[in-house]
A and B are shown apart, each in its own frame.
Chain A
């Protein structure tokens, strides 16, 4: 019989210290979402029970992520290595403040989406897997934020990509198939580029652990090959994040799925790309980031301006929102281009704000479309008369997106502009402000046309447009459907206002996260032991 591990000394290959039960918070987001997702998938016929399971699972996920964030803020970076193998051999899950914070916000948005989906998803789309795929999408998103291994990051990217395919084609109508083909092919090429870069990186440094890579890269005699790797990562993640020259998949696909799906996509998927950019460009390859900083800055400016202009040129609300997603990505890229602790704080804060607000804006649009039966700006109107509460939610979210106080967007933009000015990038700061102005125009026009004016085009101005009274508006199951939507919307709007009014706690967390990205000694210490496990 083979040498059994019971008799052998395995301390050269395995961690022998016991793992604290609280450290399981690191992997619990993965376990919770997989279990919830597969249970829903196995009960695909029980379309009435699925939402309950999903809401319970995602609520649990929120609690777990909250616990994880509290523990990370308390104890510093936490690491758990799958199967007890000693790093860098085993796949490590390493969670710092950035990852934990983004995972928490992502789970809140997913929870809101599950609530919204109660009304937005019909029995057919539930049978085709709206809730299971939503939870498996969260598996991928959580894994991306929590993993400490760059190849494992690739795997989580693919997990969230395959779930997003499932969500994107729920209805299988023509526009969805058309959008899904473009989304699928371009995203698959982006992840393949990511894999190419990872292959090169492995060939050069011989390690894939994200705590090990900065040390190994610093020890390399020749930095030229790594610059290629950095450029490939930049291209791959810019594609995922929908940065300017490689963003055309986003406006081609994001308006085709159900609003609940589009909302969670707009909130989460592009930010995953931003997160990966921060990890690779700032933490793993800082030297090469300096070389590419100007490229990043130009891309950032082009992204935010082109996104804002694109939003102004659209007559369909959902497509305008797609371009607004792109515009917000530009601001986050600006923070990564400057890459000081302050600017990264701004980027993290902006990512958090954008996750909340973009999803919220899609939800508002979905409800507006539901109330008036169209998404075309020309045909919308009079929504203020129909539902003042919805108009209020839209105003708050629009102000937040444009960066006006007292909302979450204000602080994120203040930090970004401040950081750009301090690092002597005045034109970057100016572009952020100009883009903010342009998005204000785009959003204000939506507000004026859809909400403020009396009725759609053709109705005499000033007269309240008499909507054909929707018979189903008062039916009990429809009221229940709207309850879920209002709850989801209320959660997101409230969160944006809360961050705007009391930003201190969040800014402190974002600062810790940014400091950890700029100086990864705490991250490295957590994986390999030694000093720096605590911030």
Chain B
């Protein structure tokens, strides 16, 4: 797998895939997509980078341990349910705000925060499994 072509192209491919994963994550509210599939795409991006350049550069690139990313995702998913406490509705009730930024009506919601959390959970857990498998193959 360590061909020159693959090693040259992998960083670009990874960057593109991560960009695409964020696109899929954000369009997920009204179109097909969402946090889970976005996280999977991002995790495969990192897996490709790992196959091409080895596991160590990937771990350096993401800086945090994959499990910490996962935990962070779970944290913000869980926190996204808490605003309901202040408004006397049940846990995980969706709250929306519609701020106008540069003349564009932007719909922001706790659902989106939850979805971003899912993105991180999937990214972290799949990456940690993929890296564990790739690491074994190398030694």
A residues in contact (CB < 8 Å) with B: 1, 5, 15, 18-21, 24, 27, 31, 34-35, 37-39, 41-42, 44, 80-84, 129, 132
- For A38, A41, A44, A83, which residue has the most chain B Cβ atoms within 10 angstroms? A38
- Are the C-beta atoms of A38 and B71 separated by less than 8 Å? yes
B134 to chain A minimum Cβ distance, whole angstroms, is 18
Binds A, one of B1-9, B38-46, B53-61, B89-97: B89-97
Q: Output the least CB separation between B123 and chain A (Å).
A: 15
12 sample A-B contacts, Cβ–Cβ < 8 Å, listed by A number: A15-B90, A19-B89, A20-B88, A21-B85, A31-B91, A35-B75, A35-B79, A39-B75, A42-B68, A80-B90, A83-B90, A83-B92
Q: Is the CB of A42 within 8 A of B93?
A: no
Asked if B82 lies at the interface with its beta carbon under 8 angstroms from chain A, I say yes
Whole-angstrom CA separation of A413 from B88 in the bound complex? 44
Decide yes or no: A24 and B74 within 8 Å by CB, A41-B67, A44-B65 being known contacts. no
Q: Do A42 and B72 have beta carbons less than 8 Å apart? A: yes
Is B14 positioned at the interface, with any CB of A under 8 Å from its CB? Answer: no
In B78-106, the 8 Å CB interface with A consists of: 78-79, 81-82, 84-85, 88-94, 96, 105
By beta carbon, the residue of chain A nearest B82 is A31
Are B68 and A82 within 8 A (Cβ)? no
Q: Which of B65, B70, B75, B93 makes the CB contact (< 8 A) with A84? A: B93
Assembly CA distance A44 to B71 (angstroms): 11
Q: Is the CB of A19 within 8 A of B90?
A: yes
- By Cβ-Cβ distance, the 6 closest A-B pairs, closest first, are A41-B71, A38-B71, A18-B88, A38-B75, A27-B91, A34-B78
Asked whether, in the complex, the Cβ of A44 is within 8 Å of the Cβ of B68, the reply is yes
- Kindly list chain B residues whose C-beta atoms are within 8 Å of the C-beta of A41: 67-68, 70-71
Chain B residues with Cβ below 8 Å from A44 are 65, 67-68
Residues of A within 8 A of B72 (CB): 38, 42
Nearest CB of chain B from residue A137's CB, rounded to whole Å: 14
Distance in angstroms between the alpha carbons of A18 and B93 in the assembled complex: 12
Q: Which residues of A contact B84 (CB under 8 A)?
A: 19
Which residues of chain B are near A42, meaning CB under 8 Å? 68, 71-72, 75
Q: Which residues of A contact B71 (CB under 8 A)?
A: 37-39, 41-42, 132
- Inside 8 A of A31's CB, which chain B residues have their CB? 78, 81-82, 91
**Nearest-CB distance from B30 to chain A (Å)?**
9
Contact B78 A81 (CB under 8 A): no
Q: How far does the alpha carbon of A18 sit from the alpha carbon of B96 in the complex, in Å?
A: 18
Task: Give chain A residues whose Cβ lies under 8 Å from the Cβ of B92.
Answer: 82-83
* A80 touching B91, Cβ below 8 Å: yes
CA of A39 to CA of B91, assembled, Å: 20
With both chains docked as a complex, state the minimum distance between the C-beta of B36 and any C-beta of chain A, in angstroms.
14
Asked if A83 meets B75 with Cβ closer than 8 Å, knowing A18-B88, A44-B67, the reply is no
CB-CB nearest in chain A for B85: A24
Contact at A81–B90, with CB atoms within 8 Å?
A: yes
Q: Which one, B78, B88, B90, B91, contacts A35 given CB within 8 A?
A: B78
Give bound CA distance, A480 to B71, whole Å. Answer: 30
Contact partners of A84 in chain B: CB under 8 A: 89-90, 93
Closest to A82 in B: B92
B132 to chain A: closest CB distance in Å? 12
Give the complex CA separation of A484 and B82 in angstroms.
Answer: 34
Known contacts A21-B85, A44-B65, A44-B68; A38 and B90 CB within 8 A of each other: no
Complex contact A18–B89 (CB within 8 A): yes
Q: Which of B78, B79, B82, B91 contacts A82 (CB 8 A)?
A: B91
Q: Are B94 and A83 in contact (CB under 8 A)?
A: yes
- The answer on a CB contact under 8 Å between B89 and A38 is no
Inter-chain CA distance A84–B90, complex, in Å, is: 6
| Smallest beta-carbon distance B129→chain A, Å | 12
CB nearest to B30 among chain A residues = A2
Interchain CA distance A129-B85 in the complex, whole Å: 30
Q: Which residues of A contact B88 (CB under 8 A)?
A: 18-21
Q: A34-B78, A35-B75, A35-B78 are in contact. Are A24 and B68 (CB under 8 A)?
A: no
Say how far A493's CB is from chain B's closest CB, in angstroms. 35
User: What is the minimal beta-carbon distance from A296 to any residue of chain B, in angstroms?
Assistant: 36
| A38/B78 in contact, CB under 8 A | yes
Contact of A83 among B68, B79, B85, B93 (CB under 8 A): B93
Q: Which residues of B contact A24 (CB under 8 A)?
A: 85, 91
> Provided the pairs A80-B90, A82-B92, A83-B93 are in contact, do residues A34 and B85 lie with their beta carbons within 8 angstroms?
no
* Chain B residues with CB under 8 A of A82: 90-92
Q: Which A residues are CB-close (under 8 A) to B82?
A: 31
- Give the CA-CA distance A37 to B71 in the complex, in Å: 8
Looking across the interface, which residue of chain A has its beta carbon closest to that of B76? A38
**Please, how many angstroms separate the alpha-carbon atoms of A84 and B81 in the complex?**
12
* CB proximity of B18 to chain A, nearest CB, Å: 22
Alpha-carbon separation in the docked complex, A130 to B21 (Å)? 32
